[in-house]
Amino acid sequence: MAYASQIINHSKKLRSTPKLFRQASMVRWFSEDAQSSIDNEIWKIQGSGYKASGKGGIKNLANFNNRSQFLICQRGVSMMATSIGNPFSGSQINPARGFSSDSGLPPHQEVGMPSLSPTMTEGNIARWLKKEGDKISPGEVLCEVETDKATVEMECMEEGYLAKIICGDGAKEIKVGEVIAITVEDEEDIAKFKDYKPTSSNTGAASAPESPAPSPPKKEVVEEPVRSPQPSTVKQSPPSPAGERIFASPLARKLAEENNVPISSIKGTGPDGSIVKADIEDYLASRGKESTAPKAKDAAGAPLDYSDLPHTQIRKVTASRLLFSKQTIPHYYLTVDTCVDKLMDLRNQLNALQEASGGKRISVNDLVIKAAALALRKVPQCNSSWTDNYIRQYHNVNINVAVQTDNGLFVPVIRDADKKGLSTISNEVKKLAQKARDNTLKPEDYEGGTFTVSNLGGPFGIKQFCAIINPPQSGILAVGSAEKRVIPGSGAQEFKFASFMSVTLSCDHRVIDGAIGADWLKAFKGYIENPESMLL
């Protein structure tokens, strides 16, 4: 039990037994027979506040031997991450404090790549803000991590020293849980980790490479002697009498036509004397001409000039999610044209009020978001998601808005859009769009959406398109541009101009039947063509 005593006394920070058991989530590699003695030693060291309880004192203990490690995994204690100042749950990062009797390494903490979003499986190290040997304090940023959604800062919550950086600046495709750095408590321990490499048992991605599958046994191939082609003599039959039908395969006719072969002079060797391709080829060989079709153009030509652009993290995630959507969600599409004359008039009036009060202008897309949210409240079946056991219908109407940036496509969310005014929606959209362009979105800025709006009309002039559903949602609205059209007037000889905007609703047929999707579009069109109703 001397070894256990040495471990318990290794640090001033671990002398408080209540704190030790409050922070520790797992203790491994001690035999059950040693538990009672360990409990007693802890109790002796503390003097009070803890009483040995036999085998029930320390639970869930596995076998212990001198060649194993004593590992305390702390959850939510040592590290936390923020996305530009935003704290995440500490359980997302599982650093471990390891003690090895074999390696003789001092107490240290392995910092793993955290999972910072529901879809994140790997991340990149953008840059380290601390270097090896630096002292770290609670609240200081260690590094910036590129996730599948944004660039996230990772902070430290415990004092110590950064002993070793495993994954340096620009490290790519680091699996969640893989060790990226080592921290220690005492400065003199830093040098001992100069050549440190994480073991496969302590990193999520450092597993041994799979051995290649054994190749199937090669079959012995007995080469047959190459026979020189024997010139075949084609018997040419006298021309067929005029009007007599000639039977030939389509391929034979095509080959004969391409090589100007009089097909009537060929004696067929196919079924019932029909002419086949081989007959034409034999005829060409007998004439000493090259067979087959006209020479193809030189396929080689000049080499193509191109550049290979590496996949960004957001591009890989976008590709994966949208491919998953198209392969697993039965899409169908509904399109309707909406008259936007009244909408544009209302927008002009609202913007005049906004300018007078110093507010920001309201866009057509802001009005579309509001109309979509109110339509979802009226037809809640479209505000749902499919699961294997049930359809989940949401009571919150959270609208994701597609924003294209130089870094890729982002979909920040407007929460409770059905309850917010147009001015609030406008301000939030502009703020989130700027954060997307700056690549500073936080997870709460894009997670939790129940429906998506994608607008390629205003910015790009696209008349109409079909969007891919953003899983696990069941619908997305594709908004096209407005165009003037001539429509009949009240009289027989009268006509007038009006502006119409095409919108297409993509639906998950597992959740939304065609009639339900049509009801939603009817409600949406009603709000667009009578925009005053959105203000009630």
List the structure tokens of 473.
Answer: 């949602």
Q: Which residues contact 248 (CB under 8 A, 6 or more apart)?
A: 256, 263, 266, 268, 274, 275, 276
Rounded distance between C-alpha atoms, residue 403 and residue 410, angstroms = 5
Place of tokens 């100007």: 260
40 burial class (0-12, 13-18, 19+ CB within 10 angstroms)? middle
Of 321, 256, 297, 328, the residue nearest 508 (C-alpha): 328
Characterize 383-418 residue by residue with b for buried, 16 or more Cβ atoms within 10 angstroms of its Cβ, and e for exposed: bbbbeeeeeeebeebbbbbbbebebbebbbbbbebb
- Please compute Rg for the chain using Cα positions: 36
Rounded distance between C-alpha atoms, residue 91 and residue 80, angstroms = 8
Rounded distance between C-alpha atoms, residue 218 and residue 496, angstroms = 79
**Residue 17 to residues 47, 232, 375, 481, 511: CA-CA distances in angstroms?**
10, 98, 58, 67, 54
Q: Is 337 assigned a catalytic role? A: no
Cα-Cα-Cα-Cα dihedral of 427, 428, 434, 437, to 10°? Answer: -150
CA 175 to chain centre: 14
Q: Which residues contact 327 (CB under 8 A, 6 or more apart)?
A: none
Rounded distance between C-alpha atoms, residue 254 and residue 275, angstroms = 12
Q: Is 102 assigned a catalytic role? A: no
Residue 452 is given by DSSP the state E
List the structure tokens of 110.
Answer: 């392995």
Q: Find the catalytic residue in 33, 345, 438, 513.
A: 513
Runs of H (alpha helix) within 222-312 = 250-258, 277-286
Q: Find the catalytic residue in 10, 341, 509, 519.
A: 509
Residue 60 is given by DSSP the state S
Q: Would you please indicate which residues are annotated as catalytic (active-site) residues?
A: 509, 513
